[in-house]
Amino acid sequence: MSRSRPPRIAVVGGTGAVGQTLLGLIEQRGFAHDSVRLIASERSAGRTVPVLGKTVVVEDLRTADFSDVDIAFFSAGTPVSAEWAGKAAGAGALVIDNTNAFRMDPASQLVVPQVNGALLAERPISGIVANPNCSTIPLVRLLRPVHEAYGLRSVYVSTYQAASGGGQNGIDELYDGARSILAGDTAEARRFSQPLAFDVLPAIDVLQADGFTLEERKMRQESRRILDLPGLDLVATCVRVPVENGHSEAVTLECDRPVDAAELARLLDAQDEVKVWREGWPTPRTIVDAPDLVHVGRIRVDPERPNRALLWLVADNLRIGAALNALQIAERAVQEGIA
């Protein structure tokens, strides 16, 4: 596919946290576009929203026409994507979906451009490119070069995921709960299973029959697919923490060959959009000046197991873990001529 004009864009869920972040990134990165439409539920339809220097009226998803859309970003939740993303793709739009609806669909692509962006040389059969989980994206960007250099046997990861992983409602609940507790009142749980303020919740998403959560299962399945390592031994424990934004991960790697810590640091630092902290370590509060990088610190090798390396990573989950990855998919898709 080739075109003489920039793509026409629609953002489904454009009034939410990820959608607003995406619109900001389109402006910041200078992503050329012919037009931008905002599409949302009946509740938000009719609102006027400032978008890239213009005033846009939010359209109702139930009546939206995607036949004049080239790229449709979906970030309104899995049920919405499951019902409407296929219809948008069927109307001709390349759909970039930020939910779990199509990540394991063999007719759709699951893409982190820095890892498997070559897949975008061809338009997916379904017309849908899935954006991976917010914790999977920064992790696989580090796992790929490690596997190429040392061979991966096993990956053990514990995540510390911010309230913004639950969208703007999650952020609001964190602050509302903190204010309530500080005032001596009881915090309410709306977006999360329990009040998050001043606590940690060691289960994210739906609990499965085997005792793992859907979030933990997604990290394993998605990492295997993105890295094209169907047998990768990856185990995750996913924890929600009372941080506004920025997911952190403690990662332990078991490799085929002995690992040198200094060499590993140089390897990761050489990756696109990765910063290795050789002094101190990154935290959600210390990465705010460079939110479009995967930040890595505490790189070390177990002195008793030279094939075992450990590291700490932090990434902005609204940007790297969602909106930025989606936009980089769109940038590559335009470059490859499939959008």
User: Choosing from 134, 147, 238, 255, which is the catalytic residue?
Assistant: 134
Residue with tokens 């990434």: 315
Active site residue 134: yes
**Residue 105 and residue 113 in contact, taking contact as beta carbons nearer than 8 Å:** no
Query: Which DSSP helix (H) or strand (E) runs through 224?
Result: helix 214-227
**Residue 220 and residue 268 in contact, taking contact as beta carbons nearer than 8 Å:** no
Active site residue 147: no
- ∠ at Cα 245 (242, 238), nearest 5°? 60
Please state, in angstroms and rounded to a whole number, the distance separating the CA atoms of residues 219 and 238.
9
User: Choosing from 238, 247, 255, 295, which is the catalytic residue?
Assistant: 247
Residues in contact with 257: Cβ distance below 8 Å, sequence separation at least 6, in sequence order: 150, 151, 307
Please state, in angstroms and rounded to a whole number, the distance separating the CA atoms of residues 259 and 21.
38
Work out whether the CA dihedral 148, 149, 152, 153 comes out positive or negative.
positive
Structure tokens at 89: 């793709």
Per the document, the length of the chain is 339
User: Which amino acids are annotated catalytic?
Assistant: 134, 247
